[in-house]
Structure 1
Amino acid sequence: MNASGATMLTHIQDLGFRSGEFTVEPLPDAESGRVLAILAARHGTETDAAALVPDGRETELRGELAEAAPGLSALATAIRDRLETSHSGVLIRRAHLGSHDLDTRRRLLYALAVCIGAPTATDRIDRKVVWDIKVRPELVRSGGASTFSEHADEADFHTDTQYFPTPERYMLLYFAQAAACGGGRSSLRDARCVRAALAGSDEGRWALDLLSQTALPFRIPATFTRTGSRDAVEVTFATVFGDRPLIRFRTDTLRRGLAARPEHDTPEVRRALAILQAELDNPARRLETFMESDSLLAMNNHEALHGRGAFADPDRHALRIRIDDGAPQDGAPQDHAR
């Protein structure tokens, strides 16, 4: 590895639809060691990194990391700047983390996320920041796999945590083990491109207007409800299109939300959602790519929808971290339980 110097983000090529391919330099060994020491002092050294939970002192930690690991801090700034300007998706084909054990990779990714913003708890019970995306056979068999991160089926285009009042601004997806079957291809749709396409026709403009003005119920998956119970019914009301986030969407949580709040399930809403879905299904206007092991995908979760193809390899394993930027969002929609 490099002995010194900043870990830079280098643009290789644009892939279309405001997504780009980039390379990074390996994080110097000395910086890695300092990062791990800082995290161990704050969070402990549990082998599964379960102790990496939000503690309210992320700003202080960011300052410590910037001083101890300037390369990591520079990389985080470069990623964030790209996601706020030219790109909604940043693809790094090789993150140079593959030589570390999985726990160390979790910790270094967590440190990168802290340098970008404030990593958030995935669920309300365990509050883990680094979430494992892998098949959970016991949940699949019982029918309890309520999120895309727990099964191997296709994942339609969606915004992460669209079912919460304030979805995180950024998201990191690190591919610890790609699917050996070649499945699980990642796909992206940029919200600006979606809105521009809809605005190009009368029916598209009608749908865009309705979905920008009408708050709809998104049902919160059981895993992320207050109790974690499969019987819990909690929804968040929000518009599909807005300013911040620019788009908020997921087919199944909308469908289940409308089933739970049938008074909002009108013919006009169904028609508008069908028009949007037809645009999202257009293969000519989306990026699709296979992410190899040790690759990293950073996204602006407010401006890009992402999805995944089905896969057969049960060993496929990705790590996800969601990151809040602390900026105000549209209208403070509320979540409601029944």
Structure 2
Amino acid sequence: MSSSVRWRVFRGVLTHPVTAEAVEAFAEGFGELSRRDGGIGAWLVKPRKNAGTYSEIAGPACFHTDSQYHHHPERVFVLACDTPAVEGGDNLLIAREDALAVAFEALGSAGVDRLKQAVWRWSVPKVFQSDSVPDVSPPSAIFREDGTMRWRIDNIVCDNDADLKLAQAFERALEASPRSERVRLLSGDVLLCDNWHALHARTDFSDMNRVLYRARLV
């Protein structure tokens, strides 16, 4: 994706019912599929557990980047809709530039300076842990010198209360900010998002029939 475009929505490009194979074929038009976590190209996003990853449960999802626990996260993700929730389950998107502005407004220069230090770590989901993947990520800045960012509040690992409170304040500011864009995907729609330069979240929903597919690109 270009440096000025952080996400793009393609309306009605897939036929219903949407399949993993169709999502993979569409995604491969924009890059190479990643099969790093779980060995799957496009995986089902449907509530089917009481607890688990965002792909397995209903409800809201906090702002985050994908694979923030990896040394080198995938650069793009694809989200394709088969069946939207009757109500809610929409995407919230905010570009890195706007997220940085939110941080300055809410936390001040000192807070942003701390977010730019390579002291932040995230726990790795148990399903992805292995002998070669530790249970906690290597330290990283949230706003990195290379212009990318990493973020997720619910699995963040902080060494002290001050950092945890700072991280929680940043998440609250993101959730309250009018800078994010709300995108509702309908059947056949696909969202393509820059995972290095944008954050995404999900609004609350309870419809157990919501079905989407997700894939990541390197």
Relative to the length of structure 1, the TM-score reads 0.59
CA distance in structure 2 between the partners assigned to 1:245 and 1:94 by the alignment? 33
Compute the RMSD of aligned alpha carbons: 2.1
* Alignment pair present for 1:109 and 2:23: yes
CA distance in structure 2 between the partners assigned to 1:245 and 1:132 by the alignment? 31
* Alignment pair present for 1:251 and 2:165: no
SS in 1 for 2:136: strand
1:122-201 to structure 2, matched below 5 A, reads: 123-124=37-38, 127-137=39-49, 140=50, 145-179=51-85, 181-200=86-105
CA distance in structure 2 between the partners assigned to 1:243 and 1:92 by the alignment? 31
Measured after TM superposition, the shift of residue 238 of structure 1 is 1.6
Relative to the length of structure 2, the TM-score reads 0.89
Bigger Rg, which one: 1
CA distance in structure 2 between the partners assigned to 1:107 and 1:243 by the alignment? 37
Residues 279-300 of structure 1, C-alpha deviation per residue, up to 9 Å, x if partnerless?
2022412111321111111100
Q: Which runs of 4+ in 1 moved over 6 A?
A: none
Please list every run of 5 or more consecutive structure 1 residues that lacks an aligned counterpart in the other structure.
Answer: 1-79, 259-263, 325-338
| 2:187 counterpart (293, 302, 315) | 293
| Alignment-derived partner of residue 8 in structure 2 | 90
CA contact (8 A) 2:102 2:177 kept: no
CA distance in structure 1 between the partners assigned to 2:24 and 2:207 by the alignment? 26
Q: 1:310 to 1:205 in 2, by over 3 A?
A: same
Instruction: Tell me: higher relative CO, structure 1 or 2? Use CA pairs within 8 A at least 6 residues apart.
Output: 2
1:25-36 to structure 2, matched below 5 A, reads: none
One-letter amino acid matched to 1:98: T
CA distance in structure 1 between the partners assigned to 2:212 and 2:108 by the alignment? 35
Determine which structure has the larger helix proportion and give its number: 1
SS in 2 for 1:240: coil
**Overall identity of the aligned pairs, in %:** 26
Residues 169-193 of structure 1, C-alpha deviation per residue, up to 9 Å, x if partnerless?
00110001111x2121111111111
Alignment size in residue pairs: 216
CA distance in structure 2 between the partners assigned to 1:193 and 1:86 by the alignment? 13
CA distance in structure 2 between the partners assigned to 1:130 and 1:318 by the alignment? 10
Q: 1:291 to 1:198 in 2, by over 3 A?
A: same
* Alignment pair present for 1:212 and 2:116: yes
